[in-house]
């Protein structure tokens, strides 16, 4: 299988784009048909301390597949982007960008973000690790953690604004992410300097 915890984080778009030339024109079907990435802000001092223990920036600019126990989701997950297959775009562009705003009702401490996916295999058959549409018995995937370098205080009634990009260049794919509200944080993993996936 090609799906990662965030849907596209194990190069499923690039792999399926490369394989679609073997589909029968006009009638060939891809499985999966599509998958959507979602993300939610979380508070977890435990996860933050585990990343901080490495004592470098690189580990704060790396994503992690994590079975999250001691954490709190601060606002419901929102959709980032969707990939559909076969991809008939010319040229094919698998870069993505989104800016998301999350309403927070209670004062909290932001430590990062949890990534999920919801996948349409075919017809009405879905698999999902998104909490609100979670597929019973899904033990193969855990959420993808996007950490931030420093805990950020979030007042009650405020918004968390996240800028997230899926970037491609120089034979690799990587994510960049930054919090711009309630405080402005650094852009993480610029040009894939700490973590990328080779094409």
* Active site (annotated) includes residue 1: yes
> CA 76, 96, 13, 81 torsion: positive or negative?
positive
CA distance 72 to 109: 10
CA distance 141 to 34: 17
Helix ranges (DSSP H) in 1-150: 12-19, 45-52
| DSSP state for residue 132 in the 8-state scheme | G
Q: At which residue do the structure tokens 């499923």 appear?
A: 12
CA distance 155 to 105: 8
* Active site (annotated) includes residue 61: no
- Catalytic-role residue among 10, 14, 84, 161: 10
Nearest to 85 by CA among 166, 37, 14: 14
Q: Show Cβ contacts of residue 115 under 8 Å, excluding neighbours closer than 6 positions.
A: 5, 6, 9, 37, 38, 39, 63, 80, 143, 144, 145, 146
Which sequence positions are flagged as catalytic?
A: 1, 10
């Amino acid at each position: 299988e090609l799906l990662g915890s965030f849907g596209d984080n194990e190069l499923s778009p690039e792999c399926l784009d490369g394989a679609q030339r073997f589909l029968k024109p006009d009638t060939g079907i891809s499985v999966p048909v599509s998958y959507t990435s979602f993300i939610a802000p979380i508070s977890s001092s435990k996860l933050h301390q585990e990343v901080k223990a490495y004592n470098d920036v690189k580990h704060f600019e790396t994503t992690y597949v994590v079975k999250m126990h001691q954490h709190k989701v601060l606002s419901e997950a929102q959709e980032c982007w969707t990939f559909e297959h076969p991809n008939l775009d010319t040229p094919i562009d698998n870069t993505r960008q989104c800016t998301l705003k999350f309403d927070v009702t209670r004062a909290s401490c932001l430590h990062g973000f949890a990534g999920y996916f919801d996948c349409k295999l075919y017809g009405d058959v879905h698999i999902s690790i998104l909490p609100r549409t979670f597929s019973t018995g899904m033990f193969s995937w855990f959420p993808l953690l996007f950490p931030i370098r420093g805990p950020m205080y979030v007042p009650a009634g405020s918004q968390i604004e996240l800028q997230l990009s899926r970037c491609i260049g120089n034979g690799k794919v990587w994510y960049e992410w930054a919090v711009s509200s309630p405080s402005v944080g650094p852009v993480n993993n610029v040009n894939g300097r700490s973590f990328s996936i080779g094409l």
